[in-house]
Chain A
Amino acid sequence: MKYITEFRQKDVSANLARAIAQEVQPDRTYRIMEFCGGHTHAIFRYGVQDLMPANFEFIHGPGCPVCVLPIRRLDDAIELAENHDVILCSYGDMMRVPGTKQNSLLKAKARGADVRMVYSTLDALKIAADNPTKQVVFFAIGFETTTPPTAVAVKKAKEAGLSNFSVFSNHVLTPAAVGAILDTPGTPDEPPVELDGFLGPSHVSTIIGTRPYEAAAQTYKKPVVITGFEPLDVMMAALMIVRQINEGRHEVENQYTRVVTADGNKKAQALVAEVFELRDSFEWRGLGQIPNSALKLRDSFADFDAEKRFDIAPKQSREVKSCECPAILRGTKGPLDCKLFGKTCTPETPYGSCMVSSEGACAAYYSYGRFRADQSEGKVA
């Protein structure tokens, strides 16, 4: 796998670290939000922050699809699995995320609900084809990267006349979130997040291209550098964003040119447009209702829409009060600011989605970076 090692080379990282250290201005800070959980994990897993100057700070963004799913939608999925006699198919990450009162799909499964972990939408389709007497619901979550596979499944289900397959769509859109983060007003307890720029999504951008971020970059005057998930990508992008900030530019730049183009994958975009349409508004965990930020199935595919097929009961969903996931997703707090972190909330007993997902900031911090807290504060995390 030469492709992997090439982007993790120690000597190259040392050169980049030197370049960044030389170019940062000592009298200011650089507060950069890495949008994606994939970036967050690369930063922690490879120890990227050890190579960055002290005045460059990574702020962890909301780009973790499991994390931003509002608790009500998860409660709905648990209801579908338990009360509607369906086979609920979900990506693995979703299984352990706590819903209201720490309920989860995994707990529903243990109680007897038929919840199955799938790696691909086509696995869910196969389960539907193999179980013609059961309704099969695919719990669709994710940003623009996972939407095309869901669209493929819906189209295939229609072509095959699979009347027992439907999709519970929670697909969300990245560019809308960038604006929402910067628009979120502060409170006396929680001042608004101060950011100097964004490391933009990598895989999402392979689908949508770099253009959709231009409006946000111009409106908010914040540079955006689209970057890959390898540690050298992140460092190269950090250097590019430092240069933009130093030169007073706020452009959308593309570090991830080996995969991402300005226009993205038009075929995938067309597929998504054929099957999905914009929702007027959708709730994001931590960011609240964001207009035009999510997708639902078009009327022409209404037969495959689980929200139309099943009568999902309205419910009073509640977050754990002291869980700081919402603030962490807004970038205003870090994992260590949460009273539950590492004590009651651990990957084994998560209180919030950020501790569960392999892309969540708390999970990254807990699994890879916990020792830093011990070093700096001399306490056991």
Chain B
Amino acid sequence: MTGKTNKACIEMAHGGGGRTMDRLITDIFRKHLDNEYLSQANDGALLPKTSGRLVMATDGHVISPLFFPGGNIGSLAIHGTVNDVAMMGATPLYISASFILEEGFPLDDLEEIVRSMGDAARQANVSVVTGDTKVVEKGKGDGVFISTTGVGVIEDGLAIGGDKAVPGQAILINGTVGDHGVAILSKRENLEFETEIVSDSAALNGLVSDMLAAAPSISVLRDPTRGGLAATLNEIAGQSGVGMLIEEEKIPLKPAVSGACELLGLDPLNIANEGKLVCICNAEDADKLLSVMHAHPLGKEASIIGKVTQDPNNMVRMTTMFGGTRMIDWLAGEQLPRIC
């Protein structure tokens, strides 16, 4: 991302508190993110009264490369935070965004990132209401890091959490696994390969809202980001004190993702997603939820992938496509650094 010499770049003055910084805020941040709260231009955003319990989630974004097939760090920051709030069953409303910019980063690239952030926020029906910008010297950052916090409200009566799964319940996912991680990998400097795979990065609050309307008794919602589906299932099994039995052939997987994973020796179940959710619900609600998911653009390939079982050791097992059984374990160590 080092720009050409004649390109306008981030300078230390952009974080200095003077006129240069003010211009950056006006020309880029307010231009693309503006809303009635951000334009208050005070130290904090004054938000209207809301009723109901609040949900708050925070997220740091250090993805490399900053631009990838299907998005960039800006849209990813919005999607990631919206999804964390939505996975609580809440309606995301407000986002804060803090930018750490590296000296020398091209302003054009920054504007592109902030523009997609604005687009993503509008699509997800959330407002970026407050923000901060800091600049670090060249070599002390890696282009752009973004920290976001999201706030949402949750309706009374919902009880969603990783500790709520009980044996006999059904486990659903809204589509193919591993797309985001493979899309990022395909653009890594030392690993570039040709693939048509684009990241699944998307805001899931609309889908969640449809699902909750159909089945308010959903027990667990979680987005399988870093560590992939494997980590998410193990987290929930541990939190809820249950086991799980997954059917490999029910897990949606794009052939190109499967192929890339074979080539690189990776397990698609360990690969990050940014537009997927795992839902655990009562068995009798599963078919109804599945058809609701199928009717939503982000759930067309939704599938019931298995069920919650009783298991004092909280193991996640899978019947393989081959006809045997194996465990789905946590990823050991770091498979793909800086994936989000």
Contacts and interface: CB of A to CB of B under 8 A. Distances in A.
Given A119-B190, A371-B315, A380-B313, A46 B326 contact: yes
A49 B327 contact: no
Contact of B333 (A51, A347, A366): A347
Interface string A111-131: 000000011000100000000
Nearest to B316: A371
Interface in B178-205: 190-191
A96 B331 CA distance: 14
Interface residues of A, number: 36
B315 A374 contact: yes
Interface in A5-51: 8-10, 13-14, 17, 44-51
Contacts of A231: 322, 324
Contacts of A374: 313, 315
A160 interface: no
B85 to A, nearest CB: 30
Chain B interface residue bracket vs A: 20 to 34
B325 A119 contact: no
Interface of B: 190-191, 255, 258-259, 262, 265, 312-313, 315, 317, 319-327, 329, 332-333
Contacts of B324: 46-51, 231
A118 B262 CA distance: 18
A311 interface: no
A369 B327 contact: yes
B281 to A, nearest CB: 25
Nearest to A2: B255
B322 A368 contact: no
B321 A371 contact: no
Leading 4 A-B pairs by shortest Cβ distance: A47-B324, A347-B332, A50-B324, A46-B322
B115 to A, nearest CB: 34
A44 B328 CA distance: 11
A45 B329 contact: no
A47 B312 CA distance: 22
B265 A367 contact: no
A371 B320 contact: no
A370 B329 contact: yes
Contacts of A1: 255, 258-259, 262
Contacts of B255: 1
Contacts of B319: 47
A189 interface: no
Interface in A342-356: 346-348
28 contacts: A1-B255, A4-B258, A8-B321, A10-B322, A17-B323, A45-B326, A46-B321, A47-B325, A48-B324, A50-B323, A96-B333, A119-B191, A123-B190, A231-B322, A231-B324, A232-B322, A347-B332, A347-B333, A348-B332, A367-B329, A367-B332, A368-B329, A369-B327, A370-B329, A371-B317, A371-B325, A371-B327, A374-B315
Contacts of B333: 96, 347-348
A45 to B, nearest CB: 6
